[in-house]
């Protein structure tokens, strides 16, 4: 289930480039307007997946998914400056989730008072909801081309100076690319198990993922984004059209939940890359 939300402000405002956490918080606030209990469940608990540890079968590993994602903002006018977007009058973003309850509470929250507030520390930017549009569900096959509406990230844990730290994988590094792709696959399988509450049985099916090489050439290899999230967390992610070949069920989960990690923080949302008409 996908939505496109447009909003406007009577007082043109300035929005910094690192706005993902602000929009993330605003989405929770919209859900809270419909149900405080559900918003708190989603924010503090989420949907759990318990799996046996690959290294120690006596241990369970708990994984939490929020099972929603959202796109970057579009700004009107799109006036870029060194520090952000100036004189913003209108915004637009997409939201997606396979969870009916999340979808319903967001919609009810939107229409409760028809406004969205972006809270930038000591100042609020209030936007009035102009339109809410449901996006037609595409037919997903075993090979699809997508355009990123927000960048994709995957990570691993590594030891640095004797301490464990999260390392965001570099798709452009041949030594890390296969792990990046493997993480995309394993993440989709875990989301499948969480949504359907059963094991995934088609793990031997072919899985391929690749960012568009022509786009990479066009961008001179510069497809990575370094984004500051809450408490100045640095997230390295990649934004480019891509092709994926896999079980259509897994591809559909990526389309509805987001590809890669940190989807509820505004990463991994996509749209179908439709062929251009001649």
Residue 196 pLDDT > 80: yes
Start and end residues for every CATH 3.30.70.1900 domain found in the chain: 143-272
What local confidence, expressed as pLDDT, does residue 49 receive? 87
Ramachandran angles phi, psi of 190, nearest 5°: -65, -40
For 126-140, what is each residue's pLDDT tens digit?
999 999 999 999 999
For 205-224, what is each residue's pLDDT tens digit?
789 999 999 999 999 999 99
Residue 278 pLDDT > 70: no
The b/e string for 54-84 (b: 16+ C-beta within 10 A; e otherwise) is: eeeeeeeeeeebbbbbbbbbebeeeeeeeeb
What local confidence, expressed as pLDDT, does residue 276 receive? 56
CA distance to 19, 74, 220, 261, per residue, from 80 (Å): 14, 12, 22, 28
What local confidence, expressed as pLDDT, does residue 57 receive? 53
Start and end residues for every CATH 3.30.70.1890 domain found in the chain: 2-134
**Are the CB atoms for 22 and 120 separated by under 8 Å?**
yes
Q: What is the mean pLDDT of residues 86-104?
A: 94
Residue 111 pLDDT > 60: yes
What separation, in Å, do the N-terminal and C-terminal C-alpha atoms of the chain show?
30
pLDDT band per the 50, 70, 90 thresholds, residue 52: low
CATH number for the domain running over 2-134: 3.30.70.1890
What local confidence, expressed as pLDDT, does residue 163 receive? 83
Q: Which residue has the higher pLDDT, 139 or 229?
A: 139
Residue 271 pLDDT > 90: yes
Q: What is the mean pLDDT of residues 73-94?
A: 91
**Multiple choice CATH, 143-272, 3.30.160.100, 3.40.50.1820, 3.40.50.300, 3.30.70.1900:** 3.30.70.1900
User: What is the share, in percent, of the chain residues with pLDDT greater than 90?
Assistant: 67
Residue 263 pLDDT > 80: yes
User: Distance between CA 246 and CA 72 in Å, rounded?
Assistant: 26
Residue 231 pLDDT > 80: no
Q: For all residues of the chain together, what is the average pLDDT?
A: 90
Lowest mean pLDDT of 1-5, 45-49, 68-72, 241-245, name the range: 45-49
**Are the CB atoms for 251 and 126 separated by under 8 Å?**
no
User: Distance between CA 274 and CA 147 in Å, rounded?
Assistant: 9
Residue 27 buriedness (CB in 10 A; 0-12 / 13-18 / 19+): buried
**Are the CB atoms for 251 and 140 separated by under 8 Å?**
yes
For residue 190, the SS3 value is helix
Q: Which residue has the higher pLDDT, 239 or 205?
A: 239
Q: Which residue has the higher pLDDT, 172 or 50?
A: 172
């Amino acid at each position: 289930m996908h939505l496109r939300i447009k909003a406007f402000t009577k007082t043109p405002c300035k929005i910094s480039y690192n706005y993902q956490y602000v929009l993330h918080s605003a989405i929770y606030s919209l859900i809270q307007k419909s149900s405080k209990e559900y918003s708190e469940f989603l924010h503090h608990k989420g949907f759990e997946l318990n799996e046996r540890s690959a290294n120690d079968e006596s241990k369970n590993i708990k994984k939490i998914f929020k099972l929603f994602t959202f796109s970057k903002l579009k700004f009107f006018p799109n006036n870029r400056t060194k520090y952000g977007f100036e004189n913003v009058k209108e915004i637009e973003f997409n939201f997606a989730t396979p969870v009916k309850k999340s979808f319903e509470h967001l919609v009810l929250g939107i229409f409760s008072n028809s406004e969205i507030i972006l809270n930038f520390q000591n100042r609020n930017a209030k936007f009035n909801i102009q339109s809410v549009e449901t996006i037609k569900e595409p037919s997903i096959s075993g090979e699809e081309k997508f355009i990123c509406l927000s960048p994709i990230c995957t990570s691993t844990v590594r030891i640095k100076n004797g301490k464990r730290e999260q390392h965001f994988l570099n798709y452009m590094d041949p030594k890390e690319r296969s792990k990046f792709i493997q993480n995309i696959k394993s993440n989709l399988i875990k989301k499948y198990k969480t949504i359907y509450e059963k094991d995934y049985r088609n793990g031997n099916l072919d899985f391929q993922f690749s960012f568009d090489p022509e786009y990479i050439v066009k961008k001179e290899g510069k497809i990575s984004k370094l984004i500051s999230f809450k408490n100045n967390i640095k997230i390295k992610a990649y934004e480019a059209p891509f092709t994926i070949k896999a079980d259509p069920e897994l591809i559909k989960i990526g389309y509805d939940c987001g590809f890669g990690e940190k989807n509820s923080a505004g990463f991994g949302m996509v749209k179908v890359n439709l062929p251009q008409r001649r």
